[in-house]
Amino acid sequence: MTSSQAQGQASGVEVYLGLGSNLDAERHIAAGFAALRRQFGEVLCSPVYRSPAVGFSGDDFLNAAARIRTDWPVGRLKDWLTELENAHGRDRTQPKFSDRSLDIDILLHGDKVGEHDGLFLPREEVLEYAHVLKPLADIAPGLRHPVTGLCFAEHWQGFRGDRVLQAL
């Protein structure tokens, strides 16, 4: 990508992504961030956290959040992220709660609320799981959730779920 292409992407809306992996996790998370930088230019990255698998018995996950700017609509971004996950060996034949080589979810896409190109935004998991909320609160503490109106730092302070996270 040329610098003018990256700058063109930088003029879009802020999009927040959640990244996770529990299979060769350090390599896949780093590769995910690198691919985002190549495609979108500047990427704001949260710290990486280790957390137990949710919904199944498996190795711990590494989780992080990223902020990009893009003018891509939700569907185009979702398709690109799916291709990226597939390129890193994502096995889509497994149950929803299973091991992942690379999982990248669109958490927020600008101020969109509701169903957009097959995704419900903001993603519900943002407020349900510490491994999603904490990295997001790290990079966007003052950003307000488009439905609740509370900033993500306030959501983290009031989070009542399991906070089993280890910063790396």
Reported pTM = 0.92
Structural domains counted in the chain: 1
Between CA 24 and CA 92 the distance in angstroms is 17
pLDDT at 115: 95
Tell me, rounded to whole angstroms, the distance of Cα 102 from its chain centroid.
Answer: 11
What range does the domain containing 125 cover?
3-167
Residue 101 exposure: Cα atoms within 13 Å on the Cβ side: 13
Between CA 168 and CA 165 the distance in angstroms is 9
pLDDT at 10: 60
pLDDT at 6: 47
pLDDT at 2: 43
Classify burial at 15, counting beta carbons within 10 Å of its beta carbon; exposed 0-12, middle 13-18, buried 19 or more: buried
CATH number of residue 129's parent domain: 3.30.70.560
Average pLDDT over residues 141-149: 97
pLDDT at 57: 87
Confidence band of 65 (pLDDT split at 50, 70, 90): very high
- With beta carbons less than 8 A apart as the criterion, state whether 128 and 11 touch: no
Average pLDDT over residues 45-65: 94
Confidence band of 156 (pLDDT split at 50, 70, 90): very high
Tens digit of each residue's pLDDT (9 = 90 or more) over 80-126: 999 999 999 888 887 777 889 999 999 999 999 999 999 999 999 99
Output helix, strand, coil percentages for the chain, rounded to the nearest 5: 35, 25, 40
